Amino acid sequence: MANDSAVGGNISGTARRRPGIAAALLAAILLAGCTTASLEGTYGPPPTVAGAPTQPPVDPEQARIGAEQHPRIVASYGGVYHDDKLEQTLARIVGRAVAASDDPSQSYRITILNSPSVNAFALPGGYLYVTRGLLALANDSSEVAAVIAHEMGHVTANHAMQRQNKAQAAVIVSRVVTDVLQDGDAGKVALASSQRTLAAFSQQQELEADAIGVRTIGKAGYDPFAAARFLDLMGRYSAYKSAGTVQDKRPDFLASHPATPQRVELAIRAARQFGAPGIGEVDRDRYLAGINGIVYGDDPSQGFVRGKTFMHPSLGVGFTVPDGFVLDNTSDAVLATGPDGTALRFDGANLPAGSSLSAYIASGWVNGLDTTTIKTFTVNGLEAASARAEAKGWVFRIAVIRVGDSATYRFIFANESDTPGLERAADATVASFRRLTPQEAAALQPLRIRVVTVQPGDTIASMAAKMRGVERPEDLFLILNDIKPGTGLPAVGEKVKIVGE
């Protein structure tokens, strides 16, 4: 959650009934017209890939769209992630792919986005984006080259502009459109932030980009089977992330690139044109050296999730959810889901200094509020107020807590029924809210990818035991290193990734 995330809006019970109650509810909890003061990282022009011409023949309209949308993309994905070693690694991969592409004269500018989501996309005009989350998941240069070459395929085939013409839209991008939803019904399923609307290409365009990507990395001398391999890996990671968690509303790569058996098989078939598996370079060791130490998961400026506890060192606050809940930290809010369908949103609220918390709860942003349930109390020495609401089949428990003169935070719990679990979860979580000590805040460090060497006696279990701050560490260790269950560790002396501080 950003330092200055603060929202205002209406709570409604208009969540769509669909599998995954938390995803539906937490997207519906604030109505259209709400505003957010989200953190925007500073950024400059994205770096030009080494070897690109200084005077590229870029279509003026495509250049205009790319330049217009670039700041929105960067802001929506947490800003630019700066790491000289990582940038050099990526520039080398992109430069090699450009040289082998269908149009080597096309200029590309690559930006690493400071987001844990696994995503890559392109804007018209040659803007390419890849998240640090995707770079952390990949295991070698050939896999990253496959993703980048796929995006380059959309650019060289002019897919973005084709879709723009078809949709009569001015801001279609390769995968993502950033804008504030104005439609009332759509707004009801929007989080209180600028939204990313999926702009998926047609199946034919995706398959065309797949073929272009495989052909490009094969010509570049990379392993052409990397595309199919990484599609499969992303599918495993997506399944791991979706197991009981609230999903970040930012679309990921697989949202518009489903790793269907057909797509994987077609990618394998395209790769076989270059030879049998084992052909081409993977460049694993050099790639792992390039990503060693990059941030994994939450950005430090957004606070940290450690198991069942959320702590924000800059804001100086923290809280703990009950057993069975899974926390998900986004740039707009902290979300959580519970075992009985209870969902939680934690964010900041803009209140004038000295204003009444009871009056704020009753000020109209809660639909179906039962004013007789408003009560005031203290939580670990902090002023607080709470209430109950019910609207259109949803039951809400709301609490607001003031920290100091200007900072106010709110918890919003909901379920489709007023279960005992809803009340217990709300009471326990609110009661856990507290200020962090300076020592606690100073001790919080971001999680990072650490590349280690397999030693004699190491096992999957012993490696997983070294992982820090993640759910189901053994499952994640296998996925991060593309190890299939039951196959064992790589040989002694090989490099593997773990998550540590």
Q: Determine contact, residues 22/345, Cβ cutoff 8 Å.
A: no
CA distance 490 to 5: 43
Q: Which residue has the tokens 């990921």?
A: 252
Task: Specify the range with the lowest mean pLDDT, choosing from 103-117, 166-180, 318-332.
Answer: 166-180
pLDDT at 275 over 70: yes
pLDDT tens-place string over residues 354-394: 889 999 999 988 889 999 999 999 999 999 999 999 988 88
So where are the chain's domains? 40-290, 300-443, 448-500
> Comparing 395 with 198, which gets the higher pLDDT?
395
CA distance 181 to 33: 9
**Range 154-165 average pLDDT:** 59
> Comparing 298 with 283, which gets the higher pLDDT?
283
pLDDT grade, residue 132 (50/70/90)? very high
pLDDT at 165 over 50: no
pLDDT at 197 over 50: no
pLDDT grade, residue 253 (50/70/90)? low
pLDDT at 55 over 80: no
Q: Is the pTM for the entire model greater than 0.85?
A: no
Report the pLDDT value the prediction gives residue 13, as an integer from 0 to 100: 40
pLDDT at 317 over 80: yes
**Range 141-165 average pLDDT:** 77
Task: Specify the range with the lowest mean pLDDT, choosing from 28-37, 81-90, 367-376.
Answer: 28-37
What homologous superfamily is domain 300-443 in, according to CATH?
Answer: Mog1/PsbP, alpha/beta/alpha sandwich (3.40.1000.10)
Give kind and range of the element (H or E) at residue 361. Answer: helix 357-361
> Comparing 52 with 464, which gets the higher pLDDT?
464
Report the pLDDT value the prediction gives residue 412, as an integer from 0 to 100: 95
How many residues does this entry show for the chain?
501
Instruction: Choose among 35, 108, 46: nearest CA to 77.
Output: 46
Report the pLDDT value the prediction gives residue 58, as an integer from 0 to 100: 61
pLDDT at 460 over 60: yes
**Percentage of residues of the chain with pLDDT beyond 70:** 76
**Percentage of residues of the chain with pLDDT beyond 90:** 52
pLDDT tens-place string over residues 405-450: 879 999 999 999 888 889 999 999 999 999 999 999 998 999 999 9
Instruction: Choose among 242, 188, 267, 291: nearest CA to 497.
Output: 291
Other Cβ atoms within 10 Å of 219 Cβ, number:
17
Q: What is the CATH number of domain 448-500?
A: 3.10.350
pLDDT tens-place string over residues 406-418: 799 999 999 998 8
Mean pLDDT of the chain: 79
